[in-house]
Structure 1
Amino acid sequence: MRQSIFIAATLAFALIGSAAHAETIQVKIDKLVFNPIDVQAKVGDTIEWVNNDPFAHTATVKGGWEVMLPPKKAGTYVVTEAGMIDYYCRFHPNMKGRIIVSAK
């Protein structure tokens, strides 16, 4: 019984500890520009886009995911794998950004 409690406590601590190291990285959108354009992240981090423009945007990965960003609102994405992620706004394709993701 004690061993089961110890194992459960150890697993809970490990899960809480790994979540505590994840960061939220903010990208602001203002006047049709992602700022910063390039961000560094680690697997498990959250990217938060804050849309300060009066119209909708997206953070779209071709052939991948998309985050809708209504006017004056924010949207998030949790990074799940290492690599380089290029994204753009589907409504304004000249708006481009990059997330450079390293392993934990």
Structure 2
Amino acid sequence: MQTGGLRPIIVAFMLGAMAVPAHAATIQIVMENLVISPAAASAKVGDTIEWVNKDVLAHTATARNGDFDVTLPPKKSVTLVLKKAGDVEYYCRFHPNMKATLTIAP
């Protein structure tokens, strides 16, 4: 068996595997009946969070560390691409009892 003929095939396969980009995920978080669900979510840097407000009241997703402050009109959704790793506690400024945690991996 000739190994020289396999080398270009192996190199081409490795280069092709490296060229495939990682796909970012979209994580949906729902605000309904004055509750954030799920209350604890995990994501990675580059993922998109989609907050969906199913209530007739406006809400916010306000990070306690200042990383984000998103306003969600009633019956609307808002997206945000995660740029930084870490554990982020957030809440609704209008309804402070609505609390959740987002764990963002690098």
The TM-score, its normalising length taken from structure 1, stands at: 0.79
**Structure 1 counterpart of 2:40, which letter?**
D
The structural deviation recorded for 1:78 is: 1.1
Root-mean-square deviation (CA), in Å? 1.7
Structure having the higher helix fraction is: 1
Paired residues, what number? 89
Q: Could you tell me which residue of structure 1 aligns to residue 100 of structure 2?
A: 97
Match of 2:54 among 43, 52, 55: 52
Q: Could you tell me which residue of structure 2 aligns to residue 78 of structure 1?
A: 81
SS at match of 1:17: coil
CA distance in 1, matches of 2:43, 2:64: 19
C-alpha distance after superposition, 1:50-79 (max 9, x if no partner): 000001000001351211100000011111
The TM-score, its normalising length taken from structure 2, stands at: 0.77
> Unaligned regions of 5+ residues in structure 1, if any?
1-9
> Unaligned regions of 5+ residues in structure 2, if any?
1-14
* Larger Rg computed on CA atoms: 2
Which 4+ residue blocks in structure 1 deviate beyond 3 angstroms?
none
The structural deviation recorded for 1:82 is: 1.1
